[in-house]
Amino acid sequence: MRRRTSMPTLPPADAAASDERPADGQGAGCDGGRGERLRTEFGFELPRGYVDESGTVHRAGVMRLATARDELVPLRDDRVRESRAYLSVVLISRVLVKLGTIEDVHTGIVEDLFASDLAFLQDFYRRINSEGHTRASVTCPSCRDTFAVDLAGGGRLGES
């Protein structure tokens, strides 16, 4: 059984996984002086989708940031000890909050994902947990407000 800790109020999980803020007439990055909250849950859509036993396809989901415990506990799992390849299945199942209408995502569900969907989730996990350090503080040239931007953005250098 997974134990969940209480989390701060979050933006909607179906919002884009970027830090874009709507323009408010003071520059595209201005947040009107509001403080920035740490985003801990990220919405996604699987390329193919999980097909449950009734034939329903679940594509939209929510993944939360991993904790140190999330990365350590699977190392004690006998399935992971037998095969290191199983580590990603256990780890992904711990951080998936929701998949379609399924709110109790367990290893059995992750095992039944199409390979392309598992690869997508592994990449998504790396992006939200490893690339958080790619943020930089910038100043809006219009209003002189300082805010953070994510330099990773998903593209390669020189692409927009």
Model pTM greater than 0.85?
A: no
Is residue 15 domain-resident? Answer: no
What residues make up the domain containing 102?
41-150
The pLDDT tens digits of the residues spanning 24-60 come to 333 444 555 556 688 899 999 999 999 999 999 999 9
Is residue 66 domain-resident? Answer: yes
What total number of domains does the chain contain? Answer: 1
Is residue 159 domain-resident? Answer: no
Backbone angles phi, psi at 136, to 5 degrees: -135, 150
Is residue 11 domain-resident? Answer: no
Collapsing DSSP to helix, strand or coil, 63 comes out as: strand
The pLDDT tens digits of the residues spanning 106-127 come to 999 999 999 999 999 999 999 9
Q: How far apart are CA 65 and CA 2, in angstroms?
A: 15
Is residue 28 domain-resident? Answer: no
At residue 87, the pLDDT reads 95
The pLDDT tens digits of the residues spanning 60-110 come to 999 999 999 999 999 999 999 999 999 999 999 999 999 999 999 999 999
